[in-house]
Chain A
Amino acid sequence: MMAEYSAFSLLANALKGNKDWKPAWRKPDPKASYDVIIIGGGGHGLATAYYLAKEHGITNVAVLEKGWLGSGNVGRNTTAVRSNYLLPANTRFYEHSMKLWENLSHELNYNVMFSQRGCLNLAHTPAQFDDYARRGNAMRHLGVDAELMTKAEIKRLIPALDISDSARFPVVGGLMQRRAGTARHDAVAWGYARGADRRGVDIIENCEVTGFLRDGDRISGVTTSRGDIRAKKVAVAVAGSTGRVMQLAGIDTMPIESHVLQAFVTESLKPFIDTVVTFGMGHFYMSQSDKGGLIYGGDIDGYNSYAQRGNLPVVDEVMSEMLALFPGLARVRMLRSWGGVCDMSMDGSPIITTGPLPGMYLNCGWCYGGFKATPASGWCFAWTIAKDQPHDLNAPFTLDRFHRGLVIDDKGQGANPRLH
Chain B
Amino acid sequence: MLITCPYCGPRDVIEFTYQGDGNRERPDPASQNFEAWNAYVYDRLNPAGDHNEIWQHSGGCRTHLRVVRNTLTHEISSVAFAHGGHGSAARRKAEDKS
Question: Which A residues are within 8 Å of any B CB, using their own CB?
Answer: 241-244, 247, 252-258, 302-307, 309, 311-313, 346, 402-403, 415-418
- Residue pair B42, A243 in contact (C-beta under 8 Å): no
CB-contacts of B42-98 with A (<8 A): 42-48, 51, 53, 55, 69, 71-74
Question: Which B residues are within 8 Å of any A CB, using their own CB?
Answer: 1, 12-14, 17-18, 20-21, 34, 38-39, 41-48, 51, 53, 55, 69, 71-74
Nearest CB of A to B87, in Å: 26
Assembled-state Cα–Cα distance A256/B42 (Å)? 8
- Residue pair B46, A258 in contact (C-beta under 8 Å): yes
- Residue pair A253, B44 in contact (C-beta under 8 Å): yes
Q: Contacts A304-B53, A305-B71 hold; do A253 and B41 have CB atoms under 8 A apart?
A: no
- Residue pair A346, B42 in contact (C-beta under 8 Å): yes
Nearest CB of B to A88, in Å: 22
Assembled-state Cα–Cα distance A108/B29 (Å)? 55
Find the A residue at minimum CB distance from B23.
Answer: A253
7 A-B interface contacts by CB (under 8 A): A252-B45, A253-B45, A303-B55, A304-B71, A306-B72, A307-B72, A311-B13
The tally of CB-CB contacts under 8 A between chains A and B is 73
Q: Contacts A305-B74, A306-B72, A307-B74 hold; do A257 and B20 have CB atoms under 8 A apart?
A: yes
- Residue pair A244, B42 in contact (C-beta under 8 Å): no
Chain B residue contacts of A242, Cβ below 8 A: 46
Assembled-state Cα–Cα distance A13/B17 (Å)? 57
Q: Contacts A307-B71, A311-B1, A417-B20 hold; do A257 and B46 have CB atoms under 8 A apart?
A: yes
Chain A residue contacts of B46, Cβ below 8 A: 242-243, 253-254, 256-258, 304
Assembled-state Cα–Cα distance A313/B69 (Å)? 18
Chain A residue contacts of B1, Cβ below 8 A: 311
Assembled-state Cα–Cα distance A254/B21 (Å)? 12
- Residue pair A415, B18 in contact (C-beta under 8 Å): no
Among the interface residues B44, B53, B55, which one has the most CB atoms of the partner chain A within 10 A?
B44
Q: Contacts A253-B39, A403-B38 hold; do A313 and B47 have CB atoms under 8 A apart?
A: no
Chain B residue contacts of A417, Cβ below 8 A: 20, 44
Assembled-state Cα–Cα distance A253/B43 (Å)? 5
Assembled-state Cα–Cα distance A241/B47 (Å)? 10
- Residue pair A418, B71 in contact (C-beta under 8 Å): no
Assembled-state Cα–Cα distance A252/B34 (Å)? 19
Find the A residue at minimum CB distance from B74.
Answer: A307
Chain A residue contacts of B48, Cβ below 8 A: 241, 243-244, 258, 306
Given contacts A253-B39, A256-B46, A302-B18, 9 further A-B contacts (CB under 8 A): A243-B46, A243-B47, A253-B44, A255-B43, A255-B44, A257-B20, A346-B42, A402-B38, A403-B38
